[in-house]
Structure 1
Amino acid sequence: MSEDRRGQAEAFDAIGQHYDDAFPHKEGQLAAGRRLVDALPPGSRVLDVGCGTGLPTALQLADAGHTVLGTDISSGMLDLAQKNVPMAEFRQLDIAGLRAEGPDAVGRFDAVACFFALLMLPRTEIPGALRRLHGLLHPGGLMELSMVEADLDDAAIPFLGHAIRVSGYLRDELRQVVRDAGFEITGEDTYAYAPATTDASPRSQLRSSRGGPIPEHQIFLHCRRG
Structure 2
Amino acid sequence: MLLDHGAQVTANDISARQIEMATARCPGAKFLASNMATLAFEAESFHGTVCFYTLFHLPRSQLRDMFAKIYGWMKSGGLFVFNLAVIDEEEIHGEMMGYGMFWSSYGVHENCSILEQVGFELLEVEKVKAGDGNLEEDEPDYESEYLWVMAQKPEAGKGTK
Shorter-chain TM-score: which interval?
0.7 to 0.9
* Structure 1 match to 2:39: 98
What is the aligned-residue RMSD (CA, Å)?
A: 2.3
How far has the Cα of 1:100 moved from its partner?
2.3
* Structure 2 match to 1:72: 13
TM-score, normalised by the number of residues in structure 2:
0.83
Task: Give the Cα separation in 2 of the matches to 1:135 and 1:95.
Answer: 15
Is the Cα contact below 8 Å between 1:146 and 1:220 reproduced in 2? yes
For 2:27, what is the secondary structure of its paired residue? coil
* Structure 1 match to 2:150: 222
When residues 162 and 108 of structure 1 are mapped into structure 2, their CA distance, relative to the original with a 3 A threshold, is: same
Q: 1:1-226 to 2 correspondence within 5 Å?
A: 60-101=1-42, 108-194=45-131, 211-213=138-140, 214-226=142-154
Task: Give the Cα separation in 1 of the matches to 2:66 and 2:79.
Answer: 16
Stretches of structure 1 lacking an aligned partner (at least 5 in a row): 1-59, 199-207
How far has the Cα of 1:154 moved from its partner?
2.7
Task: Give the Cα separation in 2 of the matches to 1:168 and 1:61.
Answer: 29
Deviation readout 1:94-116 (Å, 9 max, x if unpaired): 22222224xxxx97101100112
| More strand by percentage | 2
Deviation readout 1:44-87 (Å, 9 max, x if unpaired): xxxxxxxxxxxxxxxx2222321111111111110010001112
Is the Cα contact below 8 Å between 2:44 and 2:76 reproduced in 1? no
Task: Give the Cα separation in 1 of the matches to 2:91 and 2:77.
Answer: 32
Task: Give the Cα separation in 1 of the matches to 2:139 and 2:41.
Answer: 44
For 1:99, what is the secondary structure of its paired residue? coil
> Percentage identity across aligned positions?
23
When residues 224 and 161 of structure 1 are mapped into structure 2, their CA distance, relative to the original with a 3 A threshold, is: same
Task: Give the Cα separation in 1 of the matches to 2:118 and 2:53.
Answer: 17
* Structure 1 match to 2:158: none
Task: Give the Cα separation in 2 of the matches to 1:192 and 1:163.
Answer: 23
Runs (4+) off by over 3 Å: 210-214
Please tell me the residue identity of whatever aligns with 2:126.
D
